[in-house]
Chain A
């Protein structure tokens, strides 16, 4: 099992450019998430999906869009990149619940994005 795979690992964009981050999981998880990690800010939820074809906004959704056309894939798009979007982006997946309580998140290894 590969777990959660993110591509690309690194990317540099100029302000105003667009790009898509790809996330794939092979654990048959219902839920998928996109987080950004910034120094001193912890992990902040951008968007999430509770199933194929459904998406919802998280804590910091502005400037990002997502799609989940297949259960195993979750795409994060930046339509017009800004320097404030320089960050490390993590995709995660989980079951909906586990033994009736919160389910562990399984993270990918991240995409380091720099916007100049």
Chain B
């Protein structure tokens, strides 16, 4: 079974601090790595995504770092705010025309940002 291993399971950060969530994958055929953000009572929503041909992607306070050789990618939230408190899921999608429905999700990280 293909896996995406996510850590930590939970994270508490002070307001203004940096939140870092890590994911590692096994299948080298993955070609799309999104992060989803989920607030209580809501469905996950796409936050930011990266392709393996770049090592970093930044959108506002959110940055994905990608290490293809180590098969790892991470989400960095700069200047973390209480409104960032949510559960974050990493995911990976394989290459090929049949890929999209084989998304593999990490187990999630519950982030709490203290005011």
Contact = CB atoms under 8 A, between A and B. Distances in A.
Interface residues of B, number: 26
A41 B106 CA distance: 8
Interface stretch (A11-19, A63-71, A74-82, A97-105): A97-105
A9 to B, nearest CB: 9
Interface string B33-54: 0101000011111100101000
Given A48-B101, A109-B42, A110-B43, A102 B106 contact: no
Interface residues of A, number: 29
A102 B103 contact: yes
A73 B88 CA distance: 27
Given A42-B89, A42-B106, A102-B34, A97 B99 contact: yes
A43 B100 contact: no
Contacts of A50: 101
A4 B93 contact: no
A115 interface: no
B7 to A, nearest CB: 12
Contact of B100 (A31, A41, A107): A31
Interface of B: 6, 9, 31-32, 34, 36, 41-46, 49, 51, 89, 93-94, 97, 99-101, 103, 105-108
